[in-house]
Structure 1
Amino acid sequence: MESGNVTTPFGRRPMTLGMLASQAAAREIEPGQSIDKWKLYRALCEAKPLLGITDRALAILNALLSFYPKGEISEENGLVVFPSNAQLSLRAHGMAEQTIRRHLATLIEAGLLIRKDSPNGKRYARKEQGGEIREAFGFSLAPLLVRAEEIERLAAQVVAERLHLQRLRERLTLCRRDIAKLIEMALEEGATGDWSRVHLHFRSVVERLPRSPSAEQVADALDELDLLREEITNQLEMQVKVQNQSGNAQHDERHIQNSNPQSITELEPASEMKQAATADDRSADRAEPTVRIQKDEEKNGRVPAASSASAAKGALKSFPLGLVLQACPEIAAYGPQGSVGTWRELMAAAVVVRSMLGVSPSAYEQACEIMGPENAATVMACVLERAGHINSAGGYLRDLTRRAEKGEFAIGPMLMALARSNSPIRGKTG
């Protein structure tokens, strides 16, 4: 490019103030200034969002730089490259010439190239007799050399923002995991509290995040979830302290009660096995008389089914209806009016689903007897959600009932897994 001269575009392309400013800036190249062209190109790729250029425009710029004969861009090596559109297309993986012209215009508008047109609009170079280029017409790379420091600064800014966002997303993922597991643990352990409301608040915060959130959006969500996690942790820690204090008091009360020989005389069955028990066995019987009676009945084969069912029913925790409907939304369509708003409506919908899935009445009645009507309806709603993965719904329900009777089945993990899988933002921030 000739220093001190202004070049205007060929043909009907208009001259703009932006072009004039780019040409004025290109005349401010410091003597001896140079930059590695591929290092500069990598910085351009990083700073792409702040420069307002696309990946296709960068592909054209990459092709132009490949025509520059030296590894470093400098005024001594010349600043103009002059490949034809056909040559650019070959090095841009066959990009159409019309597309090439559009992206060249984008690079010029972004102030990264200057068009230096010949009298007839063609790109070529005039050489001296010794083969040296005297004058070239094409695209000047002078703006890249002038803006090299600015481009590197923008690239560093983009990298820093990306790392900041990555750290925020990692912290958000850990916070989400902590809250989800704390709520699940609270439900499993039967901790007091409105855990359905807490879970809905947690999901509402997470679901507000878009698919590609900004750093500010992630930071706001993280602040809110940090407070929620702290509240949950404080509430659970207070309950643990209360339970520890209550447990110590109960331990003392049982110790005092065991010193009274009359405490179990009315509860123990008169049997020869009891009379032959050792002193250690008798002290254990005094500590837990009800357990002693149950063990004696099991040894004699006289454990009634009703007591076994009631024990299993007591072992299973019930869950809020709102959490059940959030984890199992399909059950609502089988309610009396096409919706479920109460436990009675959920149990009615479960009967319809039982018939639809081919579960025998006896299997469902046994589940209600062992688990309780509410828990059996909840399990039926879970079975409906996973119907596509279950070969025999009746056999599956009988197996869960047997496990519940033995104390080996809990509804909480199944509900929480379905609640996570049915979340509309599954697979987002985290």
Structure 2
Amino acid sequence: MESGSVTTPFGRRPMSLGMLASQQLAEEIEPGISRNKWKLFRAICEARPALGVSDRALTVLDALLTFYPADEISEERGLIVFPSNAQLSIRARGMTAATLRRHLAVLVDAGLVIRKDSANGKRFARRDRAGEVAEAFGFSLAPLLARATEIEALAAQAVADRELLRITRERLTICRRDVAKLIAAALNEGAAGDWAKITCMFREIVARLPRAAGIEHLAAALDEMALLREEIVNQLETQTKTQQMHSNESQIERHIQSSNPESTYELEPAFETKQGAKSADYVDQRSGSMDSGLDSRAGNRERETADRSAGEGGSLKSFPLGMVLQACPQISDYGPGGQIGSWRDLMSAAVVVRSMLGVSPSAYQD
């Protein structure tokens, strides 16, 4: 475009300040700049909401670009295309003339193309004797080249916004699922908490989302939903830790009850002064005959322990033999002849069981 020139539209179409600004911008094309027309058109499609054009207007722009002879748009090759309405309608997927004119006006108002009308409003080109285009009247693509950097930046921002919207919607979906599943699990397991109130909060967050939610609505809902999920997880984790502590305490209590060191004396009341001494001697003889491989030092420890128990027998409780056999009925199978009739038979059976279990005499006495 010639520097300082102003082109007004043909006929009754009015001139606007926006058209004047577009023409002034088209004059500021940097020397040597060029763009691939299809890559630039793709960027315009990405930035369509920011540019304020419809998809039908982009269809007309696509048809205009097909009339440009090269793939690279540059000032050296010329920037004006001059198709007739009939040919433009064919390449615009059969768009009617009235619709075509309306969307051409949208492209002009958006500052993507400039009208360069002839005196009679026709679109044509004058060529010199060498066949080169000397002057053309039609639609100038100079604004596309002048705004190429701006359009590419708008396209990149649109792609980033769309990706952010997708990620936010995806995170909100996952967070919403987590909250719903956790509430259901808490209700099914009977966990303590005001789950009715939490359910109402969850439904309020979901209800506030519009049908076509933007990034602002989604981000706000995601923040609230994430806080609600964190609160639910904290409540459930606290209850889980409490249950584990109670379980561990009950296990420790059962272990202490089963390992009472005084239970040996309670279940073996035969360690009285005289009877305990005789039983200890018999245990020593019995264990010596069945475990001949044990050394004499273990036998001495047994006798010493039995003597100590006999010396302290006055302070131990005494239980009837029948009570012991009732508490441990299977011990009778290991007595002499498969029965136990006296304390001596019981001590003999205890030695047999101790040998079967692989308990050493010293460990048995301890």
TM-score, length of structure 2 as denominator length: 0.68
Within-5 A mapping of 1:170-209: 170-209=170-209
Give the match's secondary structure for 2:38: helix
Tell me which residue corresponds to 2:248: 248
Counterpart in the other structure of 2:6: 6
- Alpha-carbon distance between aligned partners in 2 of 1:71 and 1:175, rounded to the nearest angstrom: 47
SS at match of 1:192: coil
| CA deviation profile, 1:364-392 (whole Å, cap 9, x unmatched) | xxxxxxxxxxxxxxxxxxxxxxxxxxxxx
Match of 1:406 in 2: none
**1:99 partner SS:** helix
Question: What code does the residue aligned with 2:63 have?
Answer: A
**Structure 1 residue 93 corresponds to structure 2 residue 89:** no
Offset of residue 250 of structure 1: 3.6
What is the letter of the counterpart of residue 189 of structure 2?
Answer: E
**Which structure 2 residues correspond to residues 220-235 of structure 1 after superposition, within 5 A?**
220-235=220-235
Question: Which amino acid is 2:184 matched to?
Answer: E
Query: Paired residue for 1:76?
Result: 76
Distance 1:122 1:200, change over 3 A: same
Separation of aligned partners in 2, 1:252 and 1:36: 78
Q: Which residue of 2 aligns with 1:61?
A: 61
Q: CA deviation at 1:139?
A: 0.3
What is the aligned length?
266
Distance in 2 (CA, whole Å) between partners of 1:37 and 1:218 is 36
Query: Counterpart in 2 of 1:136?
Result: 136
Q: Which amino acid aligns with 1:216?
A: E
The CA distance in 2 between the partners of 1:210 and 1:278, in whole Å, is: 76
Residue 97 of structure 1 deviates from its aligned partner by 1.3
Q: Deviations over 1:68-120 (max 9, x none)?
A: 00111111111110111211111111111111111110110011110011111
CA distance in 2, matches of 1:9, 1:144: 19
Counterpart CA distance in 2 for 1:255 and 1:278 is 23
Matched with 1:39 is 39
Q: 1:242 to 1:70 in 2, by over 3 A?
A: same
Deviations 1:294-327 (CA, angstroms, capped at 9, x unpaired): xxxxxxxxxxxxxxxxxxxxxxxxxxxxxxxxxx
Alpha-carbon distance, 1:257 to partner: 7.8
Residue 229 of structure 1 deviates from its aligned partner by 0.7
Aligned AA (2:90) = L
CA RMSD of superposed structures (Å): 2.3
Cα distance per residue 1:272-313 (max 9 Å; x no partner): xxx9x989xxxxxxxxxxxxxxxxxxxxxxxxxxxxxxxxxx
- Name 2:17's counterpart in structure 1: 17
> What are the residue-to-residue correspondences of 1:27-426 with 2, within 5 Å?
27-252=27-252
Structure number, greater radius of gyration: 2
Alpha-carbon distance, 1:252 to partner = 4.9
Unaligned runs of 5+ in 2: 264-326, 332-366
Mapped to 1, the partners of 2:210 and 2:330 lie a distance apart of 69
Q: What stretches of structure 1 of length at least 5 have no aligned partner?
A: 261-274, 280-430
Task: Specify whether residues 189 and 134 from structure 1 end up closer, same or farther in structure 2 by C-alpha distance, changes over 3 A only.
Answer: same
Q: Which amino acid aligns with 1:221?
A: A
Partner letter of residue 148 of structure 1? A
2:188 partner letter: E
* Between 249-258 and 120-129, the greater mean CA deviation after superposition: 249-258
Note the alpha carbon deviations across 1:15-38, whole angstroms, 9 max, x for none.
111111111111112222211111
Deviation at 1:211, TM superposition (A): 2.2
Match of 1:307 in 2: none
Secondary structure of the 2:115 match is strand
SS at match of 1:3: coil
Q: Distance in 2 between matches of 1:252 and 1:228?
A: 37
Q: Structure 2 counterpart of 1:205, which letter?
A: I
The structural deviation recorded for 1:187 is 1.2
- CA distance in 1 between partners of 2:245 and 2:133 (Å): 92
Distance 1:148 1:113 in 2: 13
Find the counterpart in structure 2 of residue 373 from structure 1. Answer: none
**Take 1:82 and 1:134, find their aligned partners in 2: how far apart are those partners?**
13
SS at match of 2:73: strand
